[in-house]
Structure formats: structure tokens, C-alpha cells
Amino acid sequence: MKFNILTIFPQILDSYFNESILKRAVAAGLIKIQSHDIREFAEGRHKQVDDTPYGGGPGMVLMVEPIYKCLKSIRRKKKAKVILLDPAGRQFNQKMAKKFSRLDQLIFICGRYEGIDARVDNLIDEKVSVGPYVLSGGELPAAIIIEATARLLPGVLGKIESTEYETFSGEKSDVVEYPQYTKPEEFNGWPVPKILLSGNHQKIEDWRKKNKK
């Protein structure tokens, strides 16, 4: 699966994507993550990507033209979706991540400054938010959606069971995870529940279902 990120800060997420699960998935050829610098498609010597809003108002607004040109430069796969990261968009959740994981490509447009020219709406398939709050840009939301989606792809986590038992994952985890413990058996007077040490898999499964929070 391919993930494309349109941003004016193309290196902002490099260190994050070069770690852990996502790094291994890229190395294995399971996913590809590519950032695109919107400034490269801006006009003029200064490569200006923003300007003052028509009608007045505070701040600067990202221009539609460089975003349009940047988007046009990206080769689209058959099953692709263009997403504008926007706090007013549909709130992202695990169900949405599952739908996205069935696509071949996700293309993210990351806003900055005071806003983005509303004509960008003509270029997108959907607006998505990661929560009811405002951030300085769409790069962090893009990273959240990429990780949540990529880890559902076959081979990314190694074992498909890893996703089945996780928070908000579906039939085997209706709400959130059950409590988990590891060594030592007792620490600071806090023991591991005896049932987890019993070796009785059915009782352990029943305990886990009962203790989901």
C-alpha cells in the first residue's frame, strides 16, 4: 500500500517513519511512504505557498494552485483516496482504518497556517479529523492514520492475531483490551492474577473477556 503526504514540511515525519513497525514494513516492501513538498510547485523566486485571505482576516491561507499541481504530479493507483486533514472532517476511528486498509493508496493533504483555500475541496474525496481539537498542521494526523491503517495490512505486524485482540479491533475485542501482565509475578506487593498463571486457556480467555475495560 502506498501513502503520499502533501506538505510544506516534507522532512517533518522522517524520524517517526524510520522507526519500529513502519520502518520494517517499508523495508519489506509492504508499504511505501512518500512526502511531497508543496513548495516545489509554487510560482516565483520565493516559492510562495500562502497569502492573505480575500475579505480580510487574520493569518495566512494556503493557496490552491501549488496543491493542485502537487496532487496532479502523483501517480494514482486504481483504489486511491485523497484526504484533507481537517478538524471539521469525519472523525477517524478503527472502523475507518479498516476501510482504508482495503485501498491501494491514501493521499493526504496537510494544511498549515490559518487555513487552506476552500477550492481544495474540489480535489479531495474526504475530510478527516483525528479529534475535536486544532493542531498547527495535518502532518501528525497523517502519521496517526498511516500507522493505524498500515498495521492492519497482512504481514506488517507479523501475526494477524496481533491486531485481533487489540483495542477497538473487532469481534474478539468489543471495546478495549483486557489487562496484561508480565514478569515478575509480584512487584511492590502487586501480584499477577493467579488465573493467568494457571495454564487453563479457557479460564484465562473467560477472565480476559470479563475484565475488558
Reduced to 3 states (helix: H, G, I; strand: E, B; else coil), residue 186 is: strand
In a domain, 163, yes or no: no
In a domain, 169, yes or no: no
Q: Is the dihedral of CA 132, 135, 140, 142 positive or negative?
A: positive
35 shares its domain with 119: yes
Range of the domain at 47: 2-150
The total number of residues shown for the chain amounts to 213
What is 30-52 written as a DSSP string? Answer: S-EEEEEEGGGG--TTTT--EEP
What is 74-140 written as a DSSP string? Answer: SPPPSSEEEEEEEEEEEEP-HHHHHHHTTSSEEEEE---TTEE-GGGGGG-SEEEESSSS--S-SHH
202 shares its domain with 141: no
pLDDT at 175: 43
> Residue for cell digits 520494517?
24
Q: Which helix (H) or strand (E) holds 15?
A: helix 14-17
Q: pTM surpassing 0.75?
A: yes
Q: How confident is the model at residue 171 (pLDDT cuts 50, 70, 90)?
A: very low
Average pLDDT over residues 22-40: 96
Number of domains in the chain: 2
* pLDDT tens-digit map of 47-58: 999 999 999 888
Residue 135 and residue 12 in contact, taking contact as beta carbons nearer than 8 Å: no
Side chain identity at 92, as an amino acid letter? F
182 shares its domain with 138: no
**Between β-strands 50-51 and 32-37, what pairing exists: parallel, antiparallel or unpaired?**
unpaired
In a domain, 62, yes or no: yes
Average pLDDT over residues 67-75: 98
Question: Which of 124, 109, 138 has the alpha carbon at shortest distance from 6?
Answer: 109
**Which of 103, 133, 150 finishes a domain?**
150
